[in-house]
Chain A
Amino acid sequence: MRRFILQRLLQGVVLVVMVATIVFFLGRLTGNPADMILPEDASEEDRQEMIKTLGLDGPLHVQFFIFMKNALQGDLGLSIRYRQPASEIFFSRLPNTLKLVPVAMLIAILMAIPLGILSALRRGSITDRVSGTIAVLGIATPNFWLGILLIYIFSVQLGWLPSARMGGFSHYVLPTITLGTFLVAGFMRLIRSSMLEILDSEFVKLARIKGLSEWVVVWKHCLRNALIPVLTLWGVFMGGLVTGAIVTETVFAWPGIGRLTYEAVIFRDFPLLQAVIIMDAVLVLFINLLVDILYAYIDPRIRFS
Chain B
Amino acid sequence: MRQLPWVSLGIILAMVFVAVFAPVLTAHSPINQTLSDKLIPPFWEDGGTTKYILGTDIFGRDVLTRMFYGARVSLIVTALALLVGGGIGLLIGIVSGYVGGRLDSVLMRFVDAAIAFPAILFALLLAVTMGQGLRTLIIAISVLLWAGFARVVRGEVLALKQRDFVALAKVHGCSPARIMATHILPNVLNTFMVLVTLHVGIVIVAEASLSFLGAGIPPPTPSWGLMVAEGRGKIASAWWLSLIPGIAITLVVLAFNLFGDWLRDRLDPKLRQL
Q: A193-B272, A242-B121 are in contact. Are A142 and B127 (CB under 8 A)?
A: no
Is the C-beta of B35 less than 8 angstroms from some C-beta in chain A?
Answer: no
| Beta-carbon contact of A236 and B115 below 8 Å | yes
Residue of B nearest to A143 (CB): B209
Measured in the bound complex, the distance between the Cα atoms of B112 and A23 in whole Å is 18
Please name all residues of chain A whose beta carbon is closer than 8 Å to the beta carbon of B121 when the two chains form the complex: 242, 261, 276-277, 280
| Contacting pair B118 A148 (CB below 8 A) | no
| CB closest residue in chain B, given A285 | B116
Apart from A140-B205, A144-B229, A145-B243: 8 A-B pairs, beta carbons within 8 A: A15-B113, A15-B117, A23-B125, A26-B129, A142-B253, A148-B243, A243-B209, A247-B212
CB-based contact A270/B129 at 8 Å: yes
Q: Please, how many angstroms separate the alpha-carbon atoms of A142 and B253 in the complex? A: 9
Q: Which residue of B has the minimal Cβ distance to A33?
A: B129
A151 to B115, CA, bound (A): 32
**Interface status of A273 (Cβ within 8 A of chain B):** yes
Residues of A within 8 A of B213 (CB): 246-247, 250, 262, 265-266
Query: Closest Cβ of chain A: how far from B247's Cβ, in Å?
Result: 8
Residue positions of B touching A, CB distance < 8 A: 109, 112-113, 115-122, 124-130, 201, 205, 208-209, 212-215, 225, 228-229, 232, 235-236, 239, 242-243, 245-246, 249-250, 253-254, 257-258, 272-273
Q: Does A102 contact B (CB under 8 A)?
A: no
- Contacts A148-B243, A243-B209, A250-B213 hold; do A273 and B124 have CB atoms under 8 A apart? yes
Given the known interface contacts A156-B236, A243-B118, the answer about A140 and B246 at a Cβ–Cβ threshold of 8 Å is no
Binary B-proximity of A210-241 (CB < 8 A = 1, otherwise 0) = 00000000000000000001000001101100
Q: DSSP majority for the B interface?
A: helix
A54 within 8 A of B: no
Cβ contacts A to B, 30 pairs, < 8 Å: A11-B113, A15-B116, A15-B117, A23-B125, A30-B130, A136-B257, A137-B254, A139-B253, A140-B254, A141-B246, A142-B209, A142-B228, A142-B250, A142-B253, A143-B209, A145-B249, A148-B235, A149-B246, A152-B235, A156-B235, A235-B115, A238-B116, A242-B121, A264-B128, A270-B128, A273-B125, A276-B121, A281-B117, A284-B116, A284-B118
Q: Are A273 and B128 in contact (CB under 8 A)?
A: yes
Given contacts A29-B130, A136-B258, A148-B242, contact A288 B228 (CB under 8 A): no
Cβ B257 vs Cβ A139 within 8 A: yes
- Say yes or no for A251: interface residue by CB 8 A criterion: yes
User: Whole-angstrom distance from the CB of B90 to the nearest CB of chain A?
Assistant: 20
A277 contact from B116, B125, B208, Cβ within 8 A: B125
Q: In the bound complex, what is the Cα–Cα distance between A273 and B235 (angstroms)? A: 29
Assess whether A14 is interfacial by the CB under 8 Å rule: yes
- Chain A 22-33, CB-CB to B under 8 Å as 1, else 0, gives 110011011000
B129 touching A29, Cβ below 8 Å? yes
Contact B214 A265 (CB under 8 A): yes
B273 adjacent to A265 (CB under 8 Å): no
**Bound-complex Cα distance A144 to B206 (A):** 11
Residue of A nearest to B110 (CB): A18
Q: In the assembly, what is the distance between CA of A266 and CA of B236, in Å?
A: 23
Q: Inside 8 A of A236's CB, which chain B residues have their CB?
A: 115
- Within 8 Å by CB of B120, from A26, A242, A288, lies A242
CA distance A251 to B212 in the complex (A): 10
Which residue of chain A is the closest to B113 with respect to CB atoms?
Answer: A15
Q: A148-B242, A151-B235 are in contact. Are A261 and B124 (CB under 8 A)?
A: yes
Please determine whether A142 and B254 come into contact, CB atoms closer than 8 angstroms: no
Evaluate contact between B118 and A238: CB separation under 8 angstroms: yes
Chain A contacts to B: CB under 8 angstroms: 11, 14-15, 18-19, 22-23, 26-27, 29-30, 36, 136-137, 139-145, 148-149, 151-152, 156, 193, 229, 235-236, 238-239, 242-243, 246-247, 250-251, 261-262, 264-266, 268, 270, 273-274, 276-277, 280-281, 284, 288
Residues of the B chain whose Cβ atoms lie less than 8 Å from the Cβ of A141 = 246, 250, 253
Please, how many angstroms separate the alpha-carbon atoms of A143 and B122 in the complex? 19
Question: Contact: B120 with A142, CB < 8 Å?
Answer: no
With A11-B112, A143-B209 as given contacts, are A265 and B124 in contact (CB-CB < 8 Å)?
Answer: yes
Q: With A238-B118, A280-B118 given, is the CB distance from A142 to B235 under 8 Å?
A: no
Q: How far is the CA of A273 from the CA of B213 in the complex (A)?
A: 13
Residue contact B128 to A144, C-beta cutoff 8 Å: no
- Expressed in whole angstroms, the minimum distance between the Cβ of B29 and any Cβ of chain A is 25
B212 CB contacts on chain A under 8 angstroms: 142, 144, 247
CB pair A19 B117 closer than 8 Å: yes
CB distance from B139 to the nearest CB of A (A): 11
A247 to B129 CA separation, bound complex (whole angstroms):
20
Q: Smallest Cβ distance from A180 to chain B, in angstroms?
A: 17
Asked whether, in the complex, the Cβ of A288 is within 8 Å of the Cβ of B116, the reply is yes
| Contact residues in A for B272 (Cβ distance below 8 Å) | 193
Question: From residue A277, how far is it (CB to closest CB) to chain B in Å?
Answer: 5
**B118 close to A137 (CB less than 8 A):** no
Would you call B249 and A246 a contact (CB within 8 A)? no
Q: Is the CB of A251 within 8 A of B120?
A: no
Q: Is the pair A14, B257 in contact by a Cβ cutoff of 8 Å?
A: no
**B214 contacts across to A, CB distance below 8 A:** 262, 265-266
Q: Are A265 and B209 in contact (CB under 8 A)?
A: no
